[in-house]
């Protein structure tokens, strides 16, 4: 149980870091930085991947099993793939639009669902 509590707390903390990172990346893009921010985008993808892998190990717990977290995660994966494609094609406007119009709203819903499901576990 201690391991579940620790994993839940780490997932919640890392989800905040993902949001902070994406907001920072967007502000850097507003300042004219695009190509040189790709490393930051890759860090966001790795962080999300770490959470996704950890969630799969917790998926049998009733709060996650009864949630929409995996469906919401799939939407984020699709969005991250689209943003990555925009980076690879040097399409800053398209990447920025996908981040603002798709990724951040989806991330907000995903984080709300994570918090709803994992706070009881992390606080126990």
Residue 105 CB-half CA count within 13 A: 5
pLDDT at 90: 96
Tell me what percent of the chain is helix, strand and coil, each rounded to the nearest 5.
85, 0, 15
pLDDT at 31: 94
Cα–chain center distance at 36:
21
What is the C-alpha to C-alpha distance for residues 66 and 93, in angstroms, rounded to an integer? Answer: 37
**Can you give the residue range of the structural domain that contains 83?**
2-122
Provide the CATH number for the domain around residue 46.
Answer: 1.20.120
pLDDT at 56: 82
- Judge whether 8 and 121 are in contact, CB under 8 Å: yes
| The two structure tokens encoding residue 89 | 């094609």
pLDDT at 66: 75
pLDDT at 96: 95
Q: What is the pLDDT along the chain (124 residues), one digit of tens a residue?
A: 568 888 888 999 999 999 999 999 999 999 999 999 999 999 999 999 999 998 887 777 767 777 888 899 999 999 999 999 999 999 999 999 999 999 999 999 999 998 988 877 666 6
pLDDT at 30: 93
Name the domain count of the chain: 1
pTM of the model: 0.89
């Amino acid at each position: 149980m201690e391991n579940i509590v620790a994993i839940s707390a780490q997932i919640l903390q890392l989800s905040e870091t993902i949001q902070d990172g994406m907001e920072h990346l967007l502000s850097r893009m507003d300042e004219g930085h695009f190509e040189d921010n790709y490393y930051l985008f890759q860090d966001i993808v790795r962080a999300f991947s770490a959470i996704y892998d950890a969630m799969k190990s917790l998926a049998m717990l009733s709060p996650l099993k009864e949630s929409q977290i995996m469906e919401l995660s799939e939407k984020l994966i699709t969005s991250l793939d689209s943003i990555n494609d925009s980076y690879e094609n040097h399409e800053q406007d398209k990447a920025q639009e996908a981040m603002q119009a798709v990724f951040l709203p989806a991330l907000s819903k995903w984080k709300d669902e994570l918090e709803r499901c994992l706070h009881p576990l992390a606080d126990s």
